Amino acid sequence: MEKLLITGGTGTIGKELLKKLHTKYEIRVISRDELKQAELKPKYPDVDFMITDVRDYRAVLKAMVGMDIVIHAAAMKRIEVCEEYPIEAVKTNVLGTENVVNAARERGIAKLVSIGTDKDCEPINVYGMTKAIEEKITLSAGYNCVRYGNVFGSRGSVVSLFLQQKQNESPLTVTDAEMRRFILTTDEAMDLLLLALNSPMEGTIFVKKSPAAKVGDIAKAFGDNIKVIGAYPFEKKYEMLLTADEMSRAEDKDGHYIIYQDKKHLNYKEPYTSDTTDLLTVDQIKELIKKYVIKEEE
């Protein structure tokens, strides 16, 4: 059985990977969250949990002993925190990724996939900038990346915020009701990740075609007590999953795009943005809440 290391394995994506893969691989999880590790250990007794910070190269190198595959999910993700502490975001998202990639190469690990975000396409905030560099570090080493929009209901997302506010009977705080965000489910995120993992390691980016949702409509799916507070300077009205440059050298295949780094540019194409993709209705958002959010809370 192959041995899989998951960095940041106690986050939303990490926990989904454990659900899906704990019987298929020997798994080691590294993260800094001792509480989450303590909560997960009884559920996954065969998983090796290690308190390890990706900023510490020696610790990462030690964690990779005997591993065959790496999924790099560790990151500072809260946009406002990265804005307030940009150097800390650089230490984790940039230098931490360099440590993970260099340790994987030193250990001779052939398969590694790093998880990117739509925020790293033409970024305007620290989080997006650091994640864009994370992609470049991964690709330059010949490993693959996936790039996601908003994983529905993930920890720290607007969906989890609205759920908490509803439970507290507080107003649902919306920055801009017309903002559109790419939406994909945890199942779709897992499928894309496994596709990238099982494809040749050629410095390739895999992107799932995704619908979008208006932030105002997501709030409406939770209730009518909505308060508009105004957009932050580090937020975009619309997000981007592929730039125009990337669209010109991407392959459109089976519901996703594959971006090749060495492919010659074809004819110009418009970027893939959240204001041009399909839009989810309030009823469709409610169904996603029932399936992926409320179920998790029960």
Annotated catalytic residue 291 = no
Contacts (Cβ under 8 Å, ≥6 apart) of 101: 72, 112, 114, 137, 138, 141, 143
Q: Is the pLDDT of residue 207 over 80?
A: yes
- The separation between the first and the last C-alpha atoms of the chain, rounded to the nearest angstrom, is 33
Query: How many Å apart are CA 145 and CA 136, to the nearest integer?
Result: 9
**b/e map 36-73, b = 16+ CB within 10 Å:** bbeebeeebeebebeebbbeebebbbebbeebbbbbbb
Query: How many Å apart are CA 52 and CA 34, to the nearest integer?
Result: 10
SS3 247: helix
Q: Which residue has the tokens 């998951």?
A: 6
What percent of the chain clears pLDDT 70, i.e. is strictly above it? 97
Determine the distance from the C-alpha atom of residue 7 to the mean position of all C-alpha atoms in its chain, rounded to a whole number.
Answer: 12
What percent of the chain clears pLDDT 90, i.e. is strictly above it? 86
- Identify the domain containing residue 112 by its residue range: 3-297
pLDDT at 155: 76
pLDDT at 21: 94
List, for residues 140-196, the tens digit of each pLDDT value: 999 999 999 999 978 778 898 899 999 999 999 999 999 999 999 999 999 999 999
Q: Is the pLDDT of residue 83 over 80?
A: yes
What's the one-letter identity of residue 96?
Answer: G
pLDDT at 160: 87
Q: Is the pLDDT of residue 296 over 60?
A: no
CATH number at residue 106: 3.40.50.720
Q: Is the pLDDT of residue 261 over 90?
A: no
Q: Is the pLDDT of residue 268 over 90?
A: no
Query: How many Å apart are CA 228 and CA 122, to the nearest integer?
Result: 26
- The tally of domains found in the chain comes to 1
pLDDT at 297: 45
Looking at 119, 208, 220, 236, which residue is catalytic? 119
DSSP string, 163-187: HHHHHTT--EEES-TT-EEEEE-HH
Look over the chain and give the mean of its residue pLDDT values, rounded to a whole number.
93
DSSP strand pairing (69-72 vs 48-51)? unpaired
Confidence grade of residue 267 (pLDDT, cut at 50, 70, 90) = confident
pLDDT at 263: 72
Average pLDDT over residues 95-102: 98
List, for residues 18-39, the tens digit of each pLDDT value: 999 999 999 999 999 999 999 9
Query: How many Å apart are CA 293 and CA 186, to the nearest integer?
Result: 11
pLDDT at 295: 53
Query: How many Å apart are CA 151 and CA 132, to the nearest integer?
Result: 18
Q: What is the largest CA-CA distance in the chain?
A: 54
List, for residues 213-257, the tens digit of each pLDDT value: 999 999 999 999 999 999 888 899 999 999 999 998 899 998 999
SS3 218: helix
Q: Which residue has the tokens 């295949």?
A: 253
Average pLDDT over residues 264-268: 72
8 Å CB contact between 93 and 131: yes
Contacts (Cβ under 8 Å, ≥6 apart) of 73: 6, 7, 8, 9, 11, 13, 14, 17, 115
